[in-house]
Amino acid sequence: MVDFSVLQKGNIYFFYRPKVQHSYAHSIDDVQGLLMVFKPTDLNKYLILRIGKKRLPEATSYFAFVEKVCDAIDELKTQLKGEHYKTLTEGDRKISAAQCVGEGKYLFLSHEQHTHLCFQLTDFDEANALQKEFHLTPQADYLISVKNPQISSPPGAGLPSQEKANYPLNLQDNFGDYRFIPLISPEYLNYEGAEFIIIGKDKSDIEEENPKIEECLQNIPEDELHQHFNEIENPDKEMVKILREDG
């Protein structure tokens, strides 16, 4: 039996932002960025994480950060809506509203010396080529760790120092001298500028210089995962409809 505990659960939504002057994406080449929106079951918050790449990792690791913590659906709608602006050289330019490309349920699981981000899509479509380009699958399992904002990043990596999260002492002290630690508490997600590394389970060289990030060679049993997923209500279709009103 695999011992693990559920740190947080809820609904997850995947949104992409089309490139300027594009209303929708026909392929990933038309995409500006990928967002994950978490709606915890026990919190009236929407947590927007921006993925450092345009797709989810496979046998690699990607940077991500909390772009915005929204306290209401209207605030989330404002964050995802489109806008128009003018430039001197090209005139009117349009940034279209973010488009939902997947929705489902998620679990943050504490397991041995690491933390899993598991999700299950409720709208996966085998014929949806765009979902596949984002590396979205019916069910997925990643490792997730949070970065110490007080340790500098290599040049060109991570957020500028003024944009990094400022954690209270009870959260900051958990890092000690480590650059990364497992996401041991969902509280880190409540801070804009929180930085994470999302790690594909097939990656074999997981941050060897950071011993608190360890490769997980043991999968969570699917029957136990399904039991916890079944306790989560399906995503709110009305929420996506509301967000599309300004699309």
Locate 177 and state its tokens.
């001298």
Residue 125: phi, psi to the nearest 5? -130, 115
Question: Would you tell me how many other CB atoms lie within 10 Å of the CB of residue 29?
Answer: 10
Q: How confident is the model at residue 209 (pLDDT cuts 50, 70, 90)?
A: very low
pTM of the model: 0.87
Closest CA to 96 of 241, 243, 237, 236: 243
Radius of gyration of the chain (CA): 18
Q: How confident is the model at residue 164 (pLDDT cuts 50, 70, 90)?
A: very high
11-50 pLDDT, tens digit each: 999 998 887 555 667 788 888 889 999 999 999 999 999 9
Judge whether 32 and 23 are in contact, CB under 8 Å: no
Would you list the domain boundaries of the chain?
5-244
